[in-house]
Amino acid sequence: MSRIALAAIVVVVAPLAACGTRPDAVAERADRLSSSAVADADDLAEAAVADLEAWWSVELPAVYGLAWEPVATVLGATPDLLTIPGCGEPIGYPEVVEFGAVYCPDDDSIVYDAGPDGFLAELTAQVGPATVPVVLAHEYGHAVQERAGELARGLPVVYGEQQADCFAGAWMRRVTTGGSALVDFTDHDLRAALVAMIAVRDPIGTDPLSGNGHGSAFDRIGAFQEGYRDGVERCAELLDDPLPLVPNEFLSEVDARNDGDLPFGFDEGAIGPLVADTLNGYWGFELGERFEPLVLVPIDDLGDDACAGDLVEPVTGVAWCGAEGTVLVEQEAARRLYDDPIEGRADFAVGYLLAVGWAEAVQSLLGSDLEGEARALANDCLAGAYGLDMLPRPPRPDEGDGLGAASPGDLDEAALAAIRLADAGVDDDVVGSPVEKTTRFRTGVLGGFDACRPLLDD
């Protein structure tokens, strides 16, 4: 964030250690593998490939009217392999490391880095064993595109990546809701899949429509959710009806040098005061004189004595005190979001946390009767509306030189915070699941306050 005065991984699938295999060779296995029960990543990748083959043998005819042909080769490459299939000629393991994973239409092969020290191994250690299966599902999406003749259309790369992410989301819905006889994933695996989408985004500052652009994490999560929610049929439409892309380029050299992140803290020049100022400015613009600016109060503990009246805590770490016109934030909770193991410095994760506190005050001001999960998800939408206002735009007359602007990657950081603060289980129905929260946040970012108003009337 600034004040104005996975290169993306090409994910391809490949099962099993240092050998190639035809996917139909494992289609007969009878045991149903879960990420929590499987110690061997190769077994889980093998089961995922078998399930993807079985799934696409049904979905491709149903959606595209085409018979499914099994992918010719799926290979997990390791450093000891001397010859690895490439697009037209063999490649070495260092080239696999560079890309992470790749689908090659020339020989209908999927190759991914199965080395113990590679990017995917590192990501698996950070977010969980569902990582490689989700990568495989994405790369199978490119194999689908080849069979459907879509790769020959010459569309911008990012739209094909968007569709492949969507296909991966549709498959994830299958394996987390009991639809697979081979793979049984949990709510934790779904959360891990969303975090993996963030890890394989384009580098911040990259134009998604240029070259080999794959999209920001915000864009990639949106495509994944589209498939999870609406299935393969919707994914098949995306090349002709793509999802919108958010700006991902730096606005200034200073912002680029800082990687778009302000320092953590609540003193002048840090992330806290800038977010508070821009939240007050935004809601004053939307609601006019009805809205009284709120005061941000950093605090060590949101205890019973933190507010003279009722203290409303919409998510862990932030609360609204209506009696005093304040939003209180636990400094340790904010710091945990800022120091993210995937993002590194994530200043707008703190921005999201504060925006949810302001959103709670806005709901009260508007007379919202929502409770529980529905109220929490409306807060996510309102936080997203604020996020939209922070994207590059001309200043309003009242802003002058004090305009705050989101930097590339800020929406990614906010989405990651929403995932981290979501319910542990999709059926907990307290503040919303990771998919529900990021979907509502995205609704606000893409549609603004007007898109959130209907939620307040539910």
Q: What is the pLDDT of residue 335?
A: 97
Rounded-to-integer distance, Cα 418 and Cα 217, Å: 13
Quick check: 428 and 29 in contact, CB under 8 A?
Answer: no
Tens-place pLDDT, residues 48-67: 999 999 999 999 999 999 99
The HSE-up count of residue 357 (CA atoms within 13 Å, CB side) is: 34
In the sheet that holds 295-299, the strands lie side by side as 295-299, 326-330, 318-321, 311-315
Mean per-residue pLDDT of the chain: 86
- What is the three-class DSSP state of 79? coil
Tens-place pLDDT, residues 219-228: 999 999 999 9
Tens-place pLDDT, residues 285-329: 999 999 999 999 999 998 878 898 889 999 999 999 999 999 999
Q: Where are the domains of the chain?
A: 6-237, 253-456
Task: Judge whether residue 14 has pLDDT over 70.
Answer: no
For 130-274, strand residue ranges (E) read: 183-184
Rounded-to-integer distance, Cα 322 and Cα 300, Å: 19
* Mean pLDDT lowest among 279-288, 293-302, 334-343, 358-367: 334-343
Q: How far is CA 413 from CA 129, 216, 244, 275, in A?
A: 22, 11, 18, 14
When pLDDT is averaged across residues 431-455 and rounded to a whole number, the result is: 96
For residue 291, which phi and psi values (nearest 5 degrees)? Answer: -90, 120
| Band of residue 84 on the pLDDT scale cut at 50, 70, 90 | confident
| Band of residue 2 on the pLDDT scale cut at 50, 70, 90 | very low
Quick check: 115 and 77 in contact, CB under 8 A?
Answer: yes
- What is the three-class DSSP state of 5? coil
When pLDDT is averaged across residues 336-364 and rounded to a whole number, the result is: 93
Rounded-to-integer distance, Cα 214 and Cα 156, Å: 9
For the chain, the first-to-last Cα distance in angstroms comes to 33
Q: What is the pLDDT of residue 143?
A: 98
Rounded-to-integer distance, Cα 13 and Cα 17, Å: 12
Q: Could you tell me where the DSSP H helices lie in 148-186? A: 157-176
For residue 328, which phi and psi values (nearest 5 degrees)? Answer: -100, 135
